[in-house]
Each structure stands twice: as C-alpha cells, then as structure tokens.
A = this chain, B = another copy of it.
Amino acid sequence: MIYNENKVDDVQIAYIGGGSRGWAWNLMIDLAVEEQLGGTVRLYDTNWDAARKNEIIGNSLKNQPDAKEGFIYKAMDSLKEALVGADFVIISILPGTFDEMESDVHAPEKYGIYQSVGDTTGPGGIIRALRTLPMYVEIAHAIENYCPDAWVINYTNPMGACVRTLYSVFPKIKAFGCCHEVFGTQELIAHFLCEERGIEKIAREEIKVNVQGVNHFTWLSRIEYNGENVVPVYAKMADKYRESGFEPGQANNWMNNHFSNANLVKFDLFNRYGVAAAAGDRHLAEFCPPWYLKDHETVKKWKFSLTPVQWRKDNLAKLLEKSQKMIVGEEDMKLKTSGEEGVKQMKALLGLGSFVTNVNLPNYGQLSNVTPGTVVETNAMFSKNRVQPIFSGCMEESVLALTLPHIYGQKLVVDACMTKDMAPAFKAFATNPLMTASLDDTKALFDTMIKNTDRYLEYYR
C-alpha cells in the first residue's frame, strides 16, 4: 500500500472465487467508481478460464467514460501467487457446482422437506457446509502462510461455518463475513417511515439498528431513526400488512422473482415475537420449524418462493453469454454501484473513514447470551486496521430459543470438518427444525445427499 493525500494506492486484493459472475462483477463496478483507492485485484479461481475472462472484463471497465483507472485485474495461476503480499483477501466461492446444489435443495423434497434457498441451514445448508469447509481449511492455512496480516472478507455461505472454520484453523486471522440481508430490512423500514410521515426519501443507513443473531437470521433489538425509537412504526405496519404483505417497490414482484417476497414472514415473526427479523423471508423461513415451508401451497400463501436450482443453472448460462459479449466488446457492464459495503469497509480499514455496520465475527461476548466462539452477526465499528464489535446485549429469549438449533448446528458442522468425522454433521442434520422426517428416513436422506456430493468429500476419508 502507498498512502497519498486522502488516497491509498497499490492496494493488493486477492479474490478467491475470482471467476464468479456475481460478487466479482459487483466489486469491479464498485472499484471502478472509487476515487480514493488504486491497486491490483488478483483473481484466483479453480476455474482459471473464468478468472481470465474476468481479468479481461475488469481491465476493459476503464474504457467507460465514468470509470476511474484505479485498479488493474490479473488472473493468477495459484492460490499462493494470489495471496503473497495481499492486503485484502475476498472469498466468494461456489463450493461444487449447481448439480451438488440441486441435491442440497431438492433431495429433501422426497420427504416433504422444502427449502427456499438451501445454502445456510436446513439439510441443504448442512451438506453444503460439509463440502465447503475443507476448502476453507485450505484457504486458512494458505492465508496463515502467505499473508497472515491481510484482512479477509468472506461472502460464501454458509457464512457462520465458513468464518468459524477460518478462525479454527488460524486463530489470529483478521477475518469477518459480510452480508447485505439486513440492508433490505432497513430499506423496508425507511419506506414505512416515508409512508407514515410523508417524507420523500430516507437512506437505509439512516435507520440505525442494533443487530443480533446469526447470518440470515438476524434480529433488530433496537430500531431508531433520527434518535427516535421507531419500533412502534414497524409494529403498526406489521399489523396493517399482516395479510396483504408489503413490497416497497413493485407489487406482486414475489410472483415473478425468486428473490422477492412480500415480507409476510417478517411480519408474522414480529407479531409473534415482538422483535423485527432482518433478512429476506426466503432465508428467515428456513430457520423456523416448517411453519412457512410446509408445502408449495404454504409458501405461496406467505408470498415468497422456493428458488429452484434449475433457475440458477439457466441464469448461469445467461451470465456466461453476457460475459462473452463483454469480452468481445458487444456489451458494457453498467457502472451502477452494488449497494454492497465491501469497498467502504476496505477504505475504513485503510484509514479512509470510520463507520459502523453489521458483520459476522466470532462471539467474544458482544452477544451476551450466545456461546462464545459462535460466529454471530452484530454491529461493529470499522476503523483503521480494526473491526471492533459494538456491545449488543442479550438476545430476546424466545428468539434465542428459535436460533439455538442453528447456533449448535454451526458448531457441529465445524466440528465435523475439524475432526474429519461425519457424526456431528449428522446430529446437526437430525436436529434441524426443518427435519420432520422419522429418524430412519433422516438417515436415508443424509446418506443420499452425502453420496450426491461425494466427489467433494475426499477430505473426510
């Protein structure tokens, strides 16, 4: 890094999973409009071709009129090469392919178990963890060896187990996990306030929240706007829209878009617990007993949708096509910032502006009534070379009761990885709240799903 007046140059960012078409493109765009940073993004991917394509796309961005020339992109041949000398490491990988994910999400349906995402908890999330964590063991060792002082930002799911594995392997790692799910709820509340008060626009950052929980099952123990407690406003809205639901943008979008929802799960959870859950309904539903995921009918009634993995496959094809067009110059990437905070966080860690946001970190005590060591999501203050959790208090006990199986599940899948033993993972699988099958069926399903992802499980043998 080279510090100049209000600017840091020569920042070295290693991007593991650098061939991706999602997060990687978001980062490219955010960096392309960033004025205070410059340097190199080293794209590393087990699929070198994909990384190479992103190198070309990334380097072509500067041809766009609004783009800064801060960063150059380089596909790297090895993890080691990507890491040596890195200031930041971003990890955003797809563990396995969508074929394995297809099994994660859909195999349980045979037993009447439905999952809307299948990458965080539930049977799918647990099997995905088994596949993913050995990769994190390798990455953590590599970071320890090649860039132990680098800041590590994780985007991969299951978030909690991934970050926990990094710390289990290399306890001095400076890693945290990022996720935008809370932002959506801040935006929803901002909408409510605008509606309620006749205000034209409230930025989501103006909705100050105290975040508690685990990734994708986060709760807001306080919500304030301009120093005022606005939980009563949310309560009013959660009651008003308890049947119709509410979508800030286009109505009934949830019918057309697998990632949309009418917030009915959120409202129902608030009406039950008196605390606002802050993640997409698709995620929230997966943490509860099968209240919202009993069957297709039920899901529809709650106005969200199951994301079929076939859709992801089709979408991937489109993205590959788009990628090709960008490489040959037939299409340009739109320089619309992502809304993600990765670049802002890197800047804060470089000394360019402190701020508070929610991140995933091991619990040292910031969440009082959750077992230490659990990777939890709370607010933290980002400042130069430091991420410091804000003290977040206790989780409401009924919410904690809902969350505990997942806190425990996180520990169990990491135990499975660290001890190379499937037994703890099966325990997490069998005690997951979505798992309504008999114990015999549960065993059969586990075996099937393990078999379907078998080629990524060599580590355990």
Contact = CB atoms under 8 A, between A and B. Distances in A.
A440 to B, nearest CB: 9
Chain B CB within 10 A, most for which of A274, A388, A427: A388
A402 to B, nearest CB: 8
A447 to B, nearest CB: 16
A386 interface: yes
Contacts of A391: 364-366, 388-392
A433 interface: yes
Interface stretch (A73-81, A140-148, A265-273): A265-273
A408 B398 CA distance: 7
A310 interface: no
A322 to B, nearest CB: 39
B404 A427 contact: no
A431 B401 contact: yes
A405 B271 CA distance: 17
Interface stretch (A118-126, A178-186, A223-231, A325-333): A223-231
A96 interface: no
Interface string A382-412: 0111101111111001101100110110010
Contact of A268 (B371, B383, B385, B439): B439
A427 B273 CA distance: 7
Interface string A5-16: 000000000000
Contacts of A389: 390-391
Copy total for this chain: 4
Contacts of A226: 351, 384
Contact of A405 (B401, B407, B427): B401
A436 interface: yes
A226 B226 CA distance: 31
Contacts of A430: 272
Interface in A210-255: 210, 224, 226-228, 242
A84 interface: no
Contacts of A291: 436
A114 to B, nearest CB: 16
Contact of A388 (B364, B390, B427, B431): B390
Classify chain A's interface size: 35 or more
Contacts of A436: 289, 291
Contacts of A404: 397, 400-401, 404
A404 B228 CA distance: 33
A184 to B, nearest CB: 22
A263 B14 CA distance: 45
A285 B128 CA distance: 31
A381 interface: yes
A356 interface: yes
A431 B291 CA distance: 12
A181 B38 CA distance: 41
A52 interface: no
A247 to B, nearest CB: 21
A386 B227 contact: yes
A272 B385 contact: no
Contacts of A351: 226-227
A381 B386 contact: no
Interface string A199-211: 0000000001010
A376 B453 CA distance: 43
A369 B268 CA distance: 30
A383 B407 CA distance: 31
Interface of A: 208, 210, 224, 226-228, 242, 268, 271-274, 289, 291, 349, 351, 354, 356, 364-366, 368-369, 371, 381, 383-386, 388-394, 397-398, 400-401, 404-405, 407-408, 411, 427, 430-431, 433, 436, 439
7 contacts: A210-B388, A228-B385, A272-B439, A273-B431, A365-B394, A400-B404, A401-B401
Given A291-B436, A364-B391, 14 more contacts: A208-B384, A226-B384, A227-B351, A242-B439, A289-B289, A289-B433, A365-B391, A366-B391, A389-B390, A390-B391, A391-B391, A397-B404, A401-B405, A401-B431
